[in-house]
Amino acid sequence: MIIHSVDFNGSHTELDKCPLGDLPEIVIAGRSNVGKSSFINSFLNRKNVAHTSGKPGKTQTLNFYLVNELFHFVDVPGYGYAKVSKTDRQKFGEMIENYLLNRDNLRLVILLVDFRHKPSEDDFLMYNFLKSYGIPCLVVGTKSDKISKNQRGKHEKIIKGELNLHADDFFVPYSSVLKTNRETVATIIESFIK
């Protein structure tokens, strides 16, 4: 997938304020410090489309990025960040759930998990939420470049086992630094936006 254009298309907290039209939407979800912004920037071959921050919990809205005028990447607030107030965490959770369950344009959720560690309880809950509602899911293991090649198979097996990955789901290790498996991710996305 060659990226010709990326345009920021707004931040929203309510479903009825989200972009109109029927363009497919690919959601990027994951824990607050899993590297969502780095993944988006790396995949889109842009430096600062999504703002990276040393401070987790920065994304607090549904952020829409129009890609090639063909589909939207939707960056949703990260989960599991303890320093965000309980009220805000609940508010983010309700906003994301409302979007995931009621947005007709949604085609695929890319669930980012840290390839270096076994999935957290929040990762497990998010994955099972998606499965229970039949929402297609691609699990991407971020920061794969931090694991030596001879350990990668072991880490992949742990992640798939902990999540109890379904046979019809995809798992792809990814490095935002090296763009490892970018084309694999692109091919999967393309199959959902046709």
| pLDDT of 37 strictly over 50 | yes
Q: How many domains does the chain have?
A: 1
Say how far apart CA 119 and CA 64 lie, in whole Å. Answer: 26
Residue 1 within a domain: no
Q: Is 163 exposed, middle or buried (0-12, 13-18, 19+ CB in 10 A)?
A: buried
Judge contact between 66 and 9, C-beta under 8 A.
yes
Mean pLDDT confidence for 137-141: 97
Residue 108 sits in a domain whose CATH number is: 3.40.50.300
Say how far apart CA 172 and CA 184 lie, in whole Å. Answer: 8
Residue 42 within a domain: yes
pLDDT reported for residue 161: 94
Say how far apart CA 152 and CA 116 lie, in whole Å. Answer: 9
Both tokens of residue 139?
A: 């699990």
Which residue range is the domain that position 26 belongs to? 6-193
pLDDT reported for residue 190: 97
* pTM listed for this prediction: 0.91
